Structure 1
């Protein structure tokens, strides 16, 4: 597991371009392909726009539905844990922190146990909320600060 991502929705056509833009910028790489679990997303395009190019999207039914894989022009692929969009803010943030601290030795199930929604979920930022992460496809709660895919940088 190289990091985690907390999208706003399961609409791949909306969320994937933001993720690709953020990862390209943060890792200074060019994403060529992205692989997702087909049943975990709706509206999956064959390609998504990204900085003057089109990134191929592959959807599979024989992969872990909780992860997605980014394939670059050079270097090894990056595997991200996808925190479900409906996850409560506190649980999602705890999961992101766990990934940042190093999830080595933890299974995906162990990491996602942190993301179980508690009985009273905190509301997420809405599309009109100024704290919304408009360029990178994630969620910011509390203070307006950028939310980035977390994890070990290659």
Structure 2
């Protein structure tokens, strides 16, 4: 699990920090406006206007958060783990990514890997993969048996 969340953090930290800063600025500003409007002036109309602003900003921040969840959905899923044999490997020049086909039992699944894993593996190697369940990116690859495991 630690590898899973470390990988997610390493790929999404700019998005999370910007989202956190936006939330911080908006809620600090709304809190300050609330304090000035309600506690100092006791202005009911100003407080009503503050409620409208708070609803607007909450909705807007909800949209930002929803966009983050659509682009990074793996934060709310458990990591996938699969044991199987390598059936094929390929480089997709259209997406500039390496693909790995794994057969586990009767199922055949495809995952995205980096160039280091691609260089280590051979067809028919037995591997255990930890991967992002939505984006299908491999986080950890352990070679159980095969050409490099025997060396």
| TM-score of the alignment, normalized to the shorter chain, above 0.5 | no
Q: Which has more radius of gyration? A: 2
Higher relative contact order, chain-length normalized (CA < 8 Å, sep 6+): 1
Please identify which structure carries the higher strand content: 2
